[in-house]
Each structure stands twice: as structure tokens, then as C-alpha cells.
Structure 1
Amino acid sequence: MKPCKIGLLLLLAGLLGGCGGADEDYNAFLEDWTAGGKEDTAYYNPDGIEVEVDLEADVEASSYQIFEAPAQLGQFALTYLRKQGQFYLESLAEDASSDQRVEWQIDGLWKTAAEARSAPVSKLRHFRIRGVNAVLLQRYVSGASVGKVYTAKVPLKPYSVYSDAGNSCADPDDHMELDATIYWYMWNPDLSGCRIATQDMQITISRMFAQGKVTYPEYDRLIADGRITAVVLFGQIGDGAISDSDPGMSAYKTMARNLKNAKFTEVTPAPVGRRFRKTFGQVEFEIDLYSPRDFSGLGDFAHFSNFQRALSEHEIVVYDGHSMLGASDFWERPTYPSFYQIFLYGGCLGYEYYVRPILAGKGGWQNVDIMSSVVEVSANANEFAAPVLSKIQYTLTRGYKVSWKDLLQAVRNKVGDSTFGVSGVRDNCFSPAGSLCGTPPDPNTSKRYENTTSASIPDNSSAGVSSTIEVPDSMTIASLSLELDVTHTYIGDLRITLSHGGKTVTVWDQDGGSRQNIAQSFSLDAFKGLSAQGTWTLKLVDTYAQDTGKLNQWALVITK
């Protein structure tokens, strides 16, 4: 971990924590969430898309710093791009493997980090780091493609900027005293007095992720035992001894009051903090609140056991506190449970700092979704987390149709353009229409029926177009998957249904917004138990004028 003045960082109420002027009268748990869609993508952010980029630049550093220098230089790029409001790069400085991700150009050839360690330091100057995650804001997405190059102004000597430039290349800050360890966070080479040597780091898009898959929280896994457990960790925002007037304490008390007003019952005694419980249909929703006195933040070693307990025992974990410039290793320390979890991270720059260690702790995306922000957060948990918890409770009795888009949009509507997004949803399987994943069909029990005749979809016509498949075999349906291949220039126009035996199921209901084409498999449990024999009718309706498309082909995979 890089040197960092932890005590100083805990002072940064405005910069580093989920803090700020909350609306004391707002109660998300009393919101009416009746309206709402269900569109989402692999990484969903109302304000941007996720890409992978390669960083390439020169660097100069001493022999004992040279292998960590590229990651440190990446921190300067992170700040420069963030202030430009364009790209938001993941932080590399706290990644213990960052030096292993670097390639060095030596005598015209690219060498791995391991190979470069035997080379003279004098030859280690030009480097690249591959596969760095980043969020690109929507207003810059047009024209973005693999190979497109952006630039960030960074120093040549990252470790001597403070001694070389003093405060001439740093934005002033009322809360922080400038020193060498945090210069990257205050970096601004465009100041008129900045005279040190700089360079343009190249940031090249190396990967763009497929868009269009509709994803949801894994509701079936959340409610498998008939209950959902959540915990909200309110960190200390102010300095010194924790007082009742600390913004973290105030936010804690506000959420407790809001839960009571929403008819949650307080359960006493609580294992830690306060516990509230309410039943929705057949599901019990339990929310624990930890005050700053139970866990003050990512440097509170005295109460680490409470932090561990919060992560071990709850399916939804909310953190509302300081990020400490990414310098804390608290997200690397706990033992993470094997069950599916949702993390709602409210500390500033959570995407850049802490998505990676949480992902590593969970062992991959299969068991975790992480909501985080790419900018400083001025809202507390009553504004960024309560809408999510409230909308999840809403969907428990309404068919689980609230997607990650709905949840993120609810947050955005409350906190504004704070660029919250959710990571880890690319492989989510749950859908209210049936599993999005499914299993390969068993040829002994499954059969596939297809219609490969293409058909144009009439533009803005309620009549739409219909296509049929005749199933000659008599069998009772145990499971059914619909394979759909549609070309369309605006899939948010489409409504698609499948009908058989007097039952009609909506497969696609104006989802996907402006994205193009549908190539997806849908597991449809609604037909389970019916006879498969007879006519199956797929109907596609284009609900708005201008954009057009066609049904290319479709198929049914039926398991008896």
C-alpha cells in the first residue's frame, strides 16, 4: 500500500466520503415505484459505458521505484481525465499485481514485467499497461471504437513532481495539505504556472463490451430462503471524536426514522447497531443499520470484526463513508461468503478504487453485483442506497420486473448526475420471463424446432408480423427456451410475444432503448406443464415510426 496520511484523509468530508446535504424530509421507503421499465446492459450506467483501454507512455524513476512507476503515472492520468469529465480509469496504485500488468519496450521489443527485471534500469522508459477498465461518458461515446486513441497530460517523473513543481501544478484544496503522496489527486498541469515537463499518455480503447442484454439483480437467489438481509454501514464524516452531530450519525438516524415511518418493525436487541424488519408477500426484508460508533470507516481497525460480520451475514451491503483515496486495504481483508451479494458503494470514486478488491474477494462476477460511482459522492445512503432498497422491496410483490436500469435510474433521479453504475451483471441469469442462461439441451429429452424464414416487421403497425412453428410431437413441457434472431435499428420499439395453447407470454416489451438487434435465448417457465404439440406463434410489433427491422429466424428448444 502506498504511503498515505490516514488521519488527514479522514478529514475530507466533501471529497472522500458519501456525505453532503441530504434532504431530511425525503423517505425512499415511502416512494411509489409503480412506473418503470426493465432495460439494462452488462455494465449499466445512465451516464456512460464501460470499456477496456491500454495505457502507453514514458516514465523516469529510480531503480527501486521504476516497476511501480507506471501504475503511479496512471494515477495522474486518472485525475486528469476525471477533471476533463471524459474517461474514468480504474486505480492501479493499490493493485498489488499492477507491476505485473506492465509491458516494457526494450530495444524495440515488448517485454513482460518478469523479463524486464533482468534489464538495465536505463532501458526501462517506455511502457504500456493493458486491459485497464474505464467508464467513457455517453457524450463521448459517439465515434468510439476499438483502436480509438485519447490522451491524458501526465508528468514524466511521477515521484518528483512535488519537489520539482511545488504547488504550481496542483489545484488548491481547503481540506488537504499537498505532499508527494497525494499530488496525483490534485494534479492539474493546465494551470498557468505549471512549468514541469509533461507528456501525452496514450489511452487506446482495446475492448468494447456487447450491449443490449436485459439484466436484473439475481432475485431468485436473494429470496431463496424466504428473506433478504441488508446492512447499511454509516461511516464517520467529521473529524475527532464521534458526536451525534456528525453527518454520518445524522444519516444513520434519518434512515432509522424513515424505516419506522415505512412500517418496518424494529427488532431488539440487534446483534450490532439497529435491526428493522418487514414482510412483503412471502419474503421477509431485514435491514441492519451500523452507526459510525459501530464502524467508523475504512481505517477502523478496532471495529473490523463488525465490518467482517456485515460482509459475512448480509446479502446486500451498503457502505456510506470515506474512500481514503483508495489507500485502504479493508476490502481485501475480509473473508467473503460464497452466496450471491449486492454491494452498494457510496464512497467517492468507488469504481476506480474498490471494485477490483471486492471482485477478487468474491472470486469473480458469478456471486456479486457492485454499484459504485466514478465521481465524488455528495449524497448519503438515504439518497443513493435507500432508493435501491426501496425499489427492491417494491418488486417483491410485483413480479420482480425491476431491472438494474430501474434501480440506477432511481438513484440518478435522486442524486443527479453522479454517474453511478453497476458492475458484475454481464452473467446474471435471472429474468421475470425465465432464466437468461439455461443449460445445454439433453438430446435424449430435448428437441429443437425452428423457423428459418425471414419476415419484415411493419413499421409502426399494431398488426405486426407473425411467424409459426408446428410441433408434431406429443410431450409435456418441463422447460422451454426461445432462441430469437432479430435485426432492428432501435430495439426499444419492439414488443414480442409467444403464444401457444391459449397462453401468451410477453418476451420483449420495448426494452433495449436505442440499441440494435436481438440475438438472445429466453427461458420461458410460463409454458411448463403444457402439451408442446400444436402451433406456436411468435408475434413482433414495431410500436413507433422510423426505425425498421426484420425477424431473421427463431427456434424452440423443448425439454420433456
Structure 2
Amino acid sequence: MRTRLIVMTMMLASCGAGQGTAGPPGAGVAGELSDLVAPEARGKQDTGYYSNVAVELDGAIAGRIELADDASGRRALDDAEFRDTLVQLQLRYAKNGLKAYGLHLNLTAANADVLAPRREGGKIVFVYKIAIETIVTKADLEAGGVRSADELTGQLVRFDAPADPREVFARAGALCASNYKTLDDLTEENYFYYFDSKKQACAQRVPLTRGAFSIRATLPKKTAYPEYDRLAADGRIDVAAYFGAAHAADDGSVSAHDAGLRAWRAFRETLLARGFAISGTADDASAMGERFVRTRASLTETVNVIGPDDLAKPHADPAVLARLIHNNEIIIYAGHAFYGSLDLLDEPSTYPKDRYQIFFMSACWTYEYYTKQIFRNKATASDPSGWTNADVVNDTEVGWFNNYAAVSRILLTNLLRGAETGGREGERRYHWGNIVTSLNKHAFDAYTQYGYRTHELFGVSGVRTNTFTPR
């Protein structure tokens, strides 16, 4: 099996772009040893979702939808797909209400259990219940005096959301939005991100219904490694690094000082400093980018790099991202989350069948936006969870542009070394717990050093069923 490790650092006007006072990403190349996970005496604990700074909780949301009794609303009486679309949309508007309690809701959920819709008081009404997960940070637990996430089991958290979650921006404008800069920032697609049900005039323009999130349990733990045997089975690991511009002009041009361009340069410098040599183009179909190759521990390691200048060319191929995902096995995406609307990740044809893939979704709130989206499209009849063929490294906070080159480098370094050594090198173990801890250490160090407003909270999902054990 031809294994490809994709580091696709797509820096397209990320929500953390251009903030803080970090120095240039290319100011010196870090030594490889400094990127490796710390040695340990024995393996650490890991979960289906693992993070050293956050815990995943299993729960359920109960909610209520109210629609006008007109032709559009009456679709809910007999159209199950339409009802499910409304539920998924209302869940997005629950995001901020739950975040006020420190809960980061996964915004991609399974189909809801819906009670029979009915006419009530001149409206079409139905209630639903849906299983869903959320993240709570350990810092929030400590601030609330909670010693263990297990103490939250059985708790009920209430929230308000639009009774009819369609076209909320068109109805409310700025009346239900907070923390935006100008009205031009608001669209129908991203309005849930700024939605504030507590604004005084909001309920007058957009009727609200109350929902509840019940916490059922913390999810079980185990030590889990990437499936290194599957990655190295054919004697090669291929890496693709996709760097976009932080801010491109209307004509597509990119400033020489753009953070994405600087990160691309820093990543290239690292590859050259660590024994890679340039050998051809990154993508054969489009002839875009550069290919870097080295041989280590009997593995041929290839890094296919596409930079902002490649993407700014008039004839740049817009299909290159989907093609890289389809043709490769491990994807690391660090950039703009597009408020969860990166539709190519929800196209089954984007993904290869029956291949193990690692995704690094290093963008704003990717645990909430994209984790289950990937698993849903990786699922098979024998693996309905999608976990067998995917591990997803995600972020539960803002992604900062100035960190993207470093966290991509750290993840890549440890995955390659893990594949080279069979997952263990003396007391240094390249399991997901240690890799995620290394990512979060860098994020916190950058936060304290450069004065960022927040820092990333990295974790990994889908690893509970991983089977690899170091030799």
C-alpha cells in the first residue's frame, strides 16, 4: 500500500491571522531533537478523543423546533430529511449558549430522534433528542472548582436557540449578534458564530426556544498510537504541505510579509536543514509546488510542498486540495475553518476508500466543525464509526497563524520518527498522548511569549480503537 503523509497547512485568512507579536516563522530552524516528544518511564493515558488540556464528554441534547404553519413549515410534517436539516442548523445556534458554560459542542452529530411533528397554536412543532459530544477544558474545570470531569455526569445545561433556525440573519441583522467588527462581517452562513440570545432585542425579532444538554459520561481512556505499521507497510511515507496566504489581495497577489508566505518559507527551511532535497513538483497533475525527498531508516520520505505563490498564479488548479486528500493518506490542514463550511470535506468522493488517514485540522474550532464530518465520510459497513481508517487531530480554540509552521513541523517530526522507530525509541514513546502534549506545549509557550489573546487546545479523535503496539 502506498502511504502518503499529507501536511496541508492551508493558511487562508485564518481567524488567528496577523495577531500577537510573534517574530518571523523563519527566524532560525529548530533542531529536530527539540521537536520530539519527551521521554517517559511508561505510556500515558489516551482516549477516543485525547488531549492533555481538555476532556471529551458524552451527552445528549433535547430541543424544540417551531415553524410557521405555511407551505415551507408544513414540509416538516412528512419530510424527515428536512427535519434533520433543521435540527443540525439549530445545533449551531446552541454553540455560544453552551460555550458560556465552558462546553465546546461538536457541531456534526448523528441523525436526531424526532417525535412526531404536530400542529400546535398555529405552528408546526416538533421536539428532538440527539446524542452528541462536547469538550471541556481542564482549566475551566479547575476554575469552577471541579476536581474531575466525572463530577459533571448527570448535569443539565440549558440554552436558548432560534425556534426556526432558518434565515436568522435576514430577520435579525445585528440585533442577535455580538463580538463582530462591522455588519459586513455577518452572513447567513456564519451568523451562528456571532449569535447572542441574551441581547435584549433579540427575542423580539427572533422567537427562541429552550434546549438542554445533559452530560451522560466522560469517555473511556486507553493509550493509543498512530497506526505506524500501516503507514510504513510499503517502505515509503509521502508528505504534502499546502500553504495558503493569510491575506490575498483581490487580484490574488500576496504580500512578501504575509504570515502564510513566511510560514511556507520556514517549513521549506526546516526540510532542507533536515536532509531533504528538492526533486520535482509537488502535484503531478497541476505541476504545482516542490517535492522534497530523503531516505531514513529504510523509508523513503517525500514532502510535497505547495506555497502561496503557487496558489496565486492565474492558472492555479482549484482541485488540487481535494486531489491531494483523495490520493494521500494523512492530511494536516492548518488554516481557516470557514465557519465549518469547507464542503469538500463532506464529499465522499474526496476520500480514498479503505485507507487509513491522519488529519491535522489545525484551524479555529475544528473539533466542533470538522471531526465528525471526516468520520462520517470515512465510515464503512464494517466500521460505522469511521475510526478504523481515520485519526483526526483537532483544535478546540482559535488557530494562530504564527504557530502553523511550528505545530506542523512538530507533528510531522514525531509521526516520521514514530514510523522510523516502530513507535518507540528507548524511553521516548511516539503515541498520541505525547504528540498532542508536545503540540499544546508549543501553543502555550507561544501564548505566554508573544501575548496572543488565546492559545490552541489540541486533541485527537478516533484513536480509541487503534491497534498498533510498539515492538
Please give the TM-score of this superposition, normalised by the length of structure 2. Answer: 0.75
Match of 2:340 in 1: 326
Partners of 1:162 and 1:49 lie apart in 2 by 33
SS at match of 1:365: coil
For structure 2, which runs of at least 5 residues remain unmatched after alignment? 1-9, 77-82, 142-147, 380-385, 424-428, 445-454
Q: Over residues 329-366 of structure 1, what are the superposed CA-to-partner deviations in whole Å (9 max), with x where a residue is unaligned?
A: 11123142422221111222222222223223322111
Partners of 2:130 and 2:371 lie apart in 1 by 18
Highest RCO, 1 vs 2 (Cα 8 Å, sep ≥ 6):
2
Match of 1:238 in 2: 247
Q: Does the 8 Å CA contact 1:19/1:377 hold for their aligned counterparts?
A: no
Within-5 A mapping of 1:32-47 = 32=34, 33=36, 35-37=38-40, 38-39=43-44, 40-47=46-53
Match of 2:279 in 1: 267
Within-5 A mapping of 1:144-543 = 144=151, 146-159=153-166, 161-162=168-169, 165-174=172-181, 176-191=184-199, 194=202, 196=204, 198-211=208-221, 213-239=222-248, 240=250, 241-245=252-256, 246-270=258-282, 271=284, 272-292=288-308, 294=310, 303-333=317-347, 334-363=350-379, 364-379=386-401, 380-396=403-419, 398-400=421-423, 401-416=429-444, 417-433=455-471
Q: Which has the larger radius of gyration?
A: 1
Do the aligned partners of residues 339 and 331 (structure 1) sit closer, same or farther apart at CA in structure 2, a change above 3 Å counting? same
Q: Is 1:129 the equivalent of 2:146?
A: no
Give the partner amino acid of 2:301: F
Higher helix share: 2
Match of 1:558 in 2: none
Q: Over residues 472-515 of structure 1, what are the superposed CA-to-partner deviations in whole Å (9 max), with x where a residue is unaligned?
A: xxxxxxxxxxxxxxxxxxxxxxxxxxxxxxxxxxxxxxxxxxxx
Partners of 2:316 and 2:412 lie apart in 1 by 29
Q: Over residues 78-135 of structure 1, what are the superposed CA-to-partner deviations in whole Å (9 max), with x where a residue is unaligned?
A: 13333x261111224xx7xx6xx2334xxxxx34xxxx4xx44756435223112322
Give the partner amino acid of 1:171: S
Give the partner amino acid of 1:345: M
Q: Does the 8 Å CA contact 1:28/1:390 hold for their aligned counterparts?
A: no
Give the partner amino acid of 1:424: G
Q: Does the 8 Å CA contact 1:281/1:396 hold for their aligned counterparts?
A: no
Give the partner amino acid of 1:257: E
Q: Does the 8 Å CA contact 2:14/2:337 hold for their aligned counterparts?
A: no
SS at match of 2:406: helix
- 2:92 corresponds, among 71, 75, 78, to 75
Match of 1:526 in 2: none
Q: Does the 8 Å CA contact 2:53/2:137 hold for their aligned counterparts?
A: yes
Partners of 2:190 and 2:299 lie apart in 1 by 47
Q: 1:54, CA displacement in angstroms?
A: 1.6
Q: Which moved more, 1:158-167 or 1:134-143?
A: 158-167
Partners of 2:375 and 2:337 lie apart in 1 by 17
Q: Does the 8 Å CA contact 1:218/1:429 hold for their aligned counterparts?
A: yes
Give the partner amino acid of 2:291: R
Q: Over residues 166-209 of structure 1, what are the superposed CA-to-partner deviations in whole Å (9 max), with x where a residue is unaligned?
A: 42331142375324443211112344665545454200124532
Give the partner amino acid of 1:203: F
Do the aligned partners of residues 359 and 53 (structure 1) sit closer, same or farther apart at CA in structure 2, a change above 3 Å counting? same
SS at match of 1:366: coil
Q: Over residues 130-153 of structure 1, what are the superposed CA-to-partner deviations in whole Å (9 max), with x where a residue is unaligned?
A: 112322323435344553211223
Q: Does the 8 Å CA contact 1:13/1:19 hold for their aligned counterparts?
A: no
Do the aligned partners of residues 365 and 399 (structure 1) sit closer, same or farther apart at CA in structure 2, a change above 3 Å counting? closer
Give the partner amino acid of 2:390: V
Do the aligned partners of residues 131 and 264 (structure 1) sit closer, same or farther apart at CA in structure 2, a change above 3 Å counting? same
Do the aligned partners of residues 423 and 131 (structure 1) sit closer, same or farther apart at CA in structure 2, a change above 3 Å counting? same
Do the aligned partners of residues 16 and 60 (structure 1) sit closer, same or farther apart at CA in structure 2, a change above 3 Å counting? farther
Q: Does the 8 Å CA contact 1:383/1:415 hold for their aligned counterparts?
A: no
Paired residues in the alignment total 402
Please give the TM-score of this superposition, normalised by the length of structure 1. Answer: 0.64
* Percent identical residues: 23
Partners of 2:89 and 2:107 lie apart in 1 by 9
Q: Does the 8 Å CA contact 2:418/2:430 hold for their aligned counterparts?
A: yes
SS at match of 1:375: coil
Q: Is 1:55 the equivalent of 2:61?
A: yes
Q: 1:312, CA displacement in angstroms?
A: 3.1
Q: 1:428, CA displacement in angstroms?
A: 0.5
Q: Does the 8 Å CA contact 1:263/1:278 hold for their aligned counterparts?
A: yes
